[in-house]
């Protein structure tokens, strides 16, 4: 916008105080508002134009003043005009909207990650440090935050109008959205996708805090176990480490440092390992077999909650070496009192 920042602030504050605009509380909001204002102007100009044409023609050519109509076939020039000008305006709306879309959905690389699980009818937020919240989310001001979200049941939609962001929360796949809050305060969190009886009760508050307050909050709210620590325990208790342990004899691929790398699968596909891939590989392993390995991993569908999956994903994401995995293995083996399972039986599993 060529508008001076002072004027823009004045205008937006006025619109907000007149209850026509939500608060501008994220870095995205001014961009969305600028496009919105332009489109509103387009609508007003367009509607006024049509209304003026109708009123002026109606007054000028009403039957009393114009008893006989003059037949006109059409006019290629005029018709081309009102084909091309609206098309041009709509194309501007398209390009501008597309640029905004990519701005909204491309997170900056330094964004911190928080997991969101939606379920009928609550929002659960899980911070990597192990802080859990329900229908609330605490975030620091001036720090890009990326949300990795999934639904445990039906479609939900995570909407924060004051940030101008919204993203569908889908069962069975991760979706992400990011924002950077610019103002300390509390803001509405809505579920905007109809999700059943208490849809309108699936609301919460986003609390934006100063960096220091946020640190204090993190320390006071921790459950004592980070997500990755929970994940590590799951990793051992689900028996993941019996194959994925990085030893020479391991039957599953080594997972240390796998996050963010490119994998080649047995069907030849090249895949970037991200949160979604890890989740899919746990739930549907036979479709995600790393090249060089046998498809022997059982599915964990139905055995892990979305929270558990998030813990596992977070653990694998942060796994830099297999040292602790192997330690767990040794501890588990030495802790076994009963005779061990014969090796060939283990091989059949």
Partner 1 sequence: MSTAVGNTIVSLPDQSTAQLPKRHYINNEYGLLSWLLTEDHKRIALLYLFSVTFFFFIGGAFAGLIRLELLTPQPDLVAADTYNKFFTMHGLIMIFLFLVPSIPGVMGNFLIPLMLGAKDLAFPKLNLLSWYVYMAGGTLTLAALVLGGVDTGWTFTAPLSTHYLNTHVITAAMAIFITGFSSILTGINFIVTIHRMRCPGMTWFRMPLFLWAHYAASLLMVLGTPVLAVTLVLVALERLFGIGVFDPAKGGDPLLFQHLFWFYSHPAVYIMILPGMGVISEVVSTFSRKRIFGYTAVAFSSVAIALFGFFVWEHHMFIMGVSSYSALVFSLLTMLVAVPSAIKIFNWAFTLQKGSITFETPMLYCFGFMGLFTIGGLTGVFLGSLGMDVHLTETYFVVAHFHFVMVGGGLMAFLAGIHFWWPKMTGRMYPETISKLAAVTTFIGFNLTFLPQFVLGYLGLPRRYAAYPPEFQVLNVLSTAGATVLGFGYMLPMLYLAWSLKYGAIAGSNPWQATGLEWQIASPPPTENFTEIPIMDHEVYDYEWLANKTKNEVTTVG
- Candidate ranges 160-168, 224-232, 267-275, 337-345; the one touching partner 1 (CB under 8 A): 160-168
| Contact positions with partner 1 (CB under 8 A) in 303-322 | none
Residue from 2, 4, 6, 70 binding partner 1 (CB under 8 A): 70
Which CB atom, from 4 or from 270, has the smaller least distance to partner 1?
270
Binding status of residue 7 toward partner 1 by CB under 8 A: no
Give the list of residues 6+ apart from residue 97 with CB closer than 8 angstroms, or none: 35
d(CA 281, CA 303): 14
Residue from 1, 3, 7, 54 binding partner 1 (CB under 8 A): 54
Tell me if 147 sits within 8 A of 172, measured CB to CB: no
Binding status of residue 82 toward partner 1 by CB under 8 A: yes
Q: Name the strand (E) or helix (H) holding 79.
A: helix 76-105
Residue from 105, 295, 298, 305 binding partner 1 (CB under 8 A): 105
Which CB atom, from 10 or from 194, has the smaller least distance to partner 1?
194
Tell me which residue of 146, 99, 152 sits closest to 127, measured CA to CA.
146
Residue from 27, 131, 148, 157 binding partner 1 (CB under 8 A): 157
- Candidate ranges 49-57, 110-118, 266-274, 304-312; the one touching partner 1 (CB under 8 A): 49-57
Which CB atom, from 43 or from 327, has the smaller least distance to partner 1?
43
Residue from 1, 112, 134, 153 binding partner 1 (CB under 8 A): 153
Tell me if 218 sits within 8 A of 191, measured CB to CB: no
Binding status of residue 243 toward partner 1 by CB under 8 A: no
Which CB atom, from 7 or from 78, has the smaller least distance to partner 1?
78
Residue from 11, 39, 141, 236 binding partner 1 (CB under 8 A): 39
Residue from 113, 120, 223, 225 binding partner 1 (CB under 8 A): 120
DSSP secondary structure letter of residue 126: E
Largest Cα–Cα distance of the chain, in whole Å? Answer: 108
- Report the nearest approach of partner 1 to the CB of residue 262 (Å): 20
d(CA 101, CA 32): 10
| Contact positions with partner 1 (CB under 8 A) in 266-295 | 284
For 203-267, give the DSSP string: -EEEEEE-HHHHHHHHHHH--SS-HHHHHHHHHHHTTGGGTSS--TT-SS---TT-TT-EEEBTT
- Candidate ranges 3-11, 183-191, 212-220, 259-267; the one touching partner 1 (CB under 8 A): 183-191
What six digits make up the tokens of 161?
């109008």
Tell me if 173 sits within 8 A of 154, measured CB to CB: no
- Report the nearest approach of partner 1 to the CB of residue 326 (Å): 33
How many alpha carbons fall within 13 Å on the CB side of residue 27?
A: 14
């Amino acid at each position: 916008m060529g508008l001076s920042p002072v004027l823009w602030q004045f205008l937006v504050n006025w619109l907000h105080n007149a209850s026509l605009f939500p608060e501008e509380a994220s870095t995205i909001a001014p961009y969305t508002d600028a496009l919105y204002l332009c489109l509103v102007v387009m609508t007003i100009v367009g509607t006024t134009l049509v209304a003026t044409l109708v009123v002026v023609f109606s007054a000028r050519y009403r039957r009393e003043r114009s008893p006989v109509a003059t037949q006109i076939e059409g006019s290629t020039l005029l018709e081309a005009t009102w084909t091309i000008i609206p098309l041009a305006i709509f194309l501007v709306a398209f390009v501008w909207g597309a640029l905004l879309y990519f701005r909204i959905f491309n997170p900056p690389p330094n964004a911190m990650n928080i997991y969101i699980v939606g379920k009928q009818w609550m929002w659960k937020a899980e911070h990597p440090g192990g802080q859990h919240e329900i229908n609330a989310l605490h975030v620091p001001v001036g720090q890009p935050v990326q949300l990795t979200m999934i639904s445990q049941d039906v479609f939900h939609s995570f909407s924060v109008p004051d940030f101008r962001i919204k993203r569908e929360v889908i069962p069975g796949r991760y979706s992400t959205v990011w924002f950077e809050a610019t103002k300390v305060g509390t803001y509405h969190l809505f579920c905007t996708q109809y999700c059943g009886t208490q849809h309108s009760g699936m609301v919460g508050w986003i609390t934006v805090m100063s960096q220091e307050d946020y640190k204090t909050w993190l320390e006071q709210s921790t459950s004592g176990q980070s997500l990755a620590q929970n994940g590590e325990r799951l990793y051992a208790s689900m028996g993941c480490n019996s194959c994925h342990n990085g030893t020479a004899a391991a039957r599953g691929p080594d997972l240390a440092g796998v996050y963010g790398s490119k994998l080649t699968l047995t069907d030849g596909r090249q895949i970037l390992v991200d949160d979604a891939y890890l989740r899919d590989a746990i739930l549907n392993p036979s479709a995600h077999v790393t090249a060089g390995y046998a498809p022997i991993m059982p599915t964990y569908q139905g055995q892990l909650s979305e929270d558990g999956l998030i813990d596992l994903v977070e653990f694998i994401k942060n796994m830099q070496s297999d040292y602790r995995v192997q330690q767990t293995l040794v501890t588990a083996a030495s802790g076994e009192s009963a005779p061990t399972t014969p090796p060939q039986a283990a091989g059949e599993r």
